[in-house]
């Protein structure tokens, strides 16, 4: 009988331990869920902060790009105007020289044409 009583006591102790483990596991699972929810909330907050910083930086970079574009546009317009003015001066110079010496200009143009023709004809062969 003593062995049966001891077995029943051990069995009851094991059942009690089993129930205590189940309760402990439920409590631990609840605690872990709470911790996970808190961690998720912190992560979401950090992600929102990072997103805001990235958007701010993107706005700054976009504004700098616009400034660079505007500066390049202004410079290119200046270069274009300068080149256009120089081209007009060169055109006026050539026109004046042709008007001063029309026969010499025609002979030079004919000579240049012949040389170019010979060069181009030589490439075709």
pLDDT at 122: 78
pLDDT at 1: 60
pLDDT at 78: 95
pLDDT at 121: 86
3-state secondary structure the chain: CHHHHHHHHHHHHHHHHHHHHHHHHHHHHHHHHHHHHHHHHHHHHHHHHHHHHHHHHHHHHHHHHHHHHHHHHHHHHHHHHHHHHHHHHHHHHHHHHHHHCHHHHHHHHHHHHHHHHHHHHHHHC
The pLDDT tens digits for 30-53 are 999 999 999 999 999 999 999 999
pLDDT at 6: 82
Hey, where are the domains in the chain? 2-124
Threshold 0.75, pTM exceeds: no
- Segments of the chain with pLDDT less than 50: none
pLDDT at 98: 86
């Amino acid at each position: 009988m003593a062995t049966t009583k001891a077995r029943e006591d051990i069995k009851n102790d094991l059942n009690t331990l089993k129930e205590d483990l189940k309760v402990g596991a439920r409590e631990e699972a609840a605690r872990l869920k709470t911790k996970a929810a808190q961690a998720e909330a912190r992560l979401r907050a950090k992600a929102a902060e990072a997103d805001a910083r990235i958007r701010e930086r993107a706005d700054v970079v976009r504004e700098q790009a616009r400034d660079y574009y505007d500066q390049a546009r202004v410079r290119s317009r200046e270069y274009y105007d300068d080149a256009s003015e120089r081209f007009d001066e060169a055109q006026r110079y050539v026109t004046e020289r042709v008007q001063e010496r029309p026969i010499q200009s025609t002979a030079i143009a004919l000579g240049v044409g012949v040389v170019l023709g010979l060069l181009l004809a030589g490439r075709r062969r």
